[in-house]
Structure 1
Amino acid sequence: MKVSALAGPNDDGPCLVALEIARQHAILLLEAADEFVRQHSLGSDLLAVTATASRIAEDDFDLVWDASFGALHVALAAHDPDAIASAIVQIALRCGALGHILEIDRDVITLRNLRFQCWSFANVRRISIEPHLEQFRFLTDTGPVTIGRSESGALHSSHDLKQNPMLRLLGHDIVCLFQDNLLCPGGADIREKVVDGDVDSLPERLKLSLELLSVQSPRYYRWVTALLRAVAPWSNPMNSLPGGSGSSNLLPGTVAISASPSREPMIDSLIHEICHHYFYLALKLGKVARDPGRLFYNPILRCDRPIDMILLAFHAFANVYRYCGDAISRGVGDQSYLAYRMAMLQEQLPVLDGHLASCGTLTELGESLWLPLHRELAPILEDPAVLAARL
């Protein structure tokens, strides 16, 4: 497995290593869940889900790249039978959305918010899936809701439910999230800054930004769209550029970005946070550093950070720098923003790189994420003027 491919894109195709790591990790989680279900006699219906999902995971990345696996990870770590059963039921829903409908009829831990495709439900207490009818039933505090398939094959709801705006792209959906959609493992730090009023306008802004990215840098367009599955708009009270952004290891493909009206800052944030998702995938293979306790100065955040977080920052910002270079070389987009961003990163990246070069604690995995970028960007990292300023 060529882990260095996770350092950044070098062609216009998807990063197959990332897809394979996600599949393998999901299968390991399903195997652990299967064993737990057997040991605690939680039910043959759950075993049918883990077996079917393991089989589908071999070929369908859209199954495994889903928040339900983050929920399963947390539940398994807690050894919580109810939470594990609830997470497996959510995986069954994901299977059903992809056309693999399995029979389920279970009470679940009350889910404060559950999103199924474009619909959101509050306080779900029971979930039933009926394969012969191709129906999904949800019992909430306000009553039952049924989602089924029309003659055309499209899903439809029996009730007028809150819907999440979506953008269809390259065969999969990118969902725009409200605050309540982030009442889930990994969602707390993202949720607090979400502005629900910006959600409805987000799909069009995303569409325009991704269309521009496809022209500015085809390799980063594929890099982003391969993993991007959900976006939440963040507040930006200071109107800073590119604005704050966030993501979570427990929410695959989900990013929070400032809902900027400008395309380049939005692209900047998308690349940054999607790079974090590639980094999170790398962490599933092991540690990137041997001494996480020692702190180093991060000039971007203006605070001290452990070396693994220095590598996380360098990995993301070095890729943003490469994108800006691609866009400038093609002469497409807001050249003033791109030049401003590159100039800023030319001052900051050498500091981060210097820590990585001198720390002596990166593992082989950590070096696989750092060295390809370090070597490519050597002209700015080793520039005498920049080195003098760093010293």
Structure 2
Amino acid sequence: MDLLLASAAPAGYSDGVQPDFAEGVDEQMYESLKAGIACLRSAGLSFLGWVEQVIRQILVLRAEPTRTKSGSRSHFPGLVHMSLPEGAHVVAENLMHEASHQYYHLLLRIGPIHTGEDTALYYSPAVGRPRPLDRLVLAFHAFGNVALLYHRLLEIGFATRESRSQLDRLGLQLEQLRAPMVGNPALTLMGSEFIRPLNVALVGRGIISEVKL
């Protein structure tokens, strides 16, 4: 994965994030990224490979003491932005989260995940406000994969003191995100199949309760 500065951002990518771009890339940022990748590798090559398949470049944002930042743009596959340097587990989480979004955006290039018939808004604990169905799918996929990472890190003893509480919190949020999807006819077959394996994996590890989608 290459670290990029704002000057390397494609036209139209920087809208909304320009003020947060780092002024330079230093050794601390590279070491932070290496530590995050090592954390993914410790969890298993399936985690690392899953990320490396879709993330090629990272536009570096300034790190802040009180919050971490990451994101991507649907029309720029392989490119994400995130704050560095951060702790190894934070970097690993952000990489998993943004890789999940990359897969989601790639899927939408094939076809829709919902029919558009369900126009209701549902509360999303991910952002603290009502969101349409497709955004719940996006959030469920991202936070679900992060939850699998934390579960694995706890399993192998590579977690932090906060990892257990983070996983418990994610489990509650995932239950809320999943509820509007259960039996929802507005989800297309592709949409259902996109989240079904993840739901099975989360249920199998006891992260969320058993409910068939």
- TM bucket by the smaller chain? 0.7 to 0.9
Cα offset, 1:303, TM superposition: 0.9
- Output the CA distance in 2 between the equivalents of 1:348 and 1:208: 27
Cα offset, 1:364, TM superposition: 0.7
- Greater length-normalized contact order (CA 8 Å, ≥ 6 residues apart): 2
Matches within 5 A, 1:264-303: 264-291=89-116, 293-303=119-129
Match for residue 165 of structure 2? 340
Match for residue 326 of structure 1? 152
Question: For 2:18, which of 191, 194, 200 is the aligned residue?
Answer: 191
Gaps of 5+ in 1: 1-173, 384-391
- Output the CA distance in 2 between the equivalents of 1:226 and 1:301: 27
Gaps of 5+ in 2: none
Match for residue 371 of structure 1? 196
2:29 and 2:85 in contact (8 A); partners too? no
Q: Between Structure 1 and Structure 2, whose CA radius of gyration is higher?
A: 1
* Counterpart code for 1:302: G
Match for residue 304 of structure 1? 130
1:182 and 1:191 in contact (8 A); partners too? no
TM-score, with normalisation over the residues of structure 1?
0.50
Matches within 5 A, 1:345-360: 345-360=170-185
| CA displacement 1:310-345 (0-9 Å, x = unmatched) | 10000010000001111111112x331321320210
1:298 and 1:305 in contact (8 A); partners too? yes
- Output the CA distance in 2 between the equivalents of 1:258 and 1:264: 13
SS at match of 1:196: coil
* Counterpart code for 2:139: A
SS at match of 2:166: helix
Match for residue 90 of structure 1? none
| CA displacement 1:250-281 (0-9 Å, x = unmatched) | 22211112224310011100100011111111
- Output the CA distance in 1 between the equivalents of 2:32 and 2:141: 26
- Output the CA distance in 2 between the equivalents of 1:232 and 1:337: 27
1:178 and 1:194 in contact (8 A); partners too? yes
More strand by share: 1
Tell which deviates more after alignment, 308-317 or 354-363.
354-363
- Output the CA distance in 1 between the equivalents of 2:86 and 2:195: 33
* Counterpart code for 2:120: R
Matches within 5 A, 1:108-187: 174-187=1-14
TM-score, with normalisation over the residues of structure 2?
0.88
2:3 and 2:58 in contact (8 A); partners too? yes
Aligned length: 207
2:9 and 2:59 in contact (8 A); partners too? no
* Counterpart code for 2:115: R
2:133 and 2:181 in contact (8 A); partners too? yes
| CA displacement 1:230-257 (0-9 Å, x = unmatched) | 11222454613xx221001222211112
- Output the CA distance in 2 between the equivalents of 1:229 and 1:196: 21
Match for residue 54 of structure 2? 227
Matches within 5 A, 1:42-57: none
Cα offset, 1:358, TM superposition: 4.7
* Counterpart code for 2:150: C
- Output the CA distance in 2 between the equivalents of 1:186 and 1:364: 31
2:62 and 2:83 in contact (8 A); partners too? yes
| CA displacement 1:18-40 (0-9 Å, x = unmatched) | xxxxxxxxxxxxxxxxxxxxxxx
- Output the CA distance in 1 between the equivalents of 2:174 and 2:153: 19
| CA displacement 1:135-154 (0-9 Å, x = unmatched) | xxxxxxxxxxxxxxxxxxxx
Q: CA RMSD in A?
A: 2.1
* Counterpart code for 1:275: S
Whether 1:262 aligns to 2:87 is yes
Percent identical pairs in the alignment equals: 25
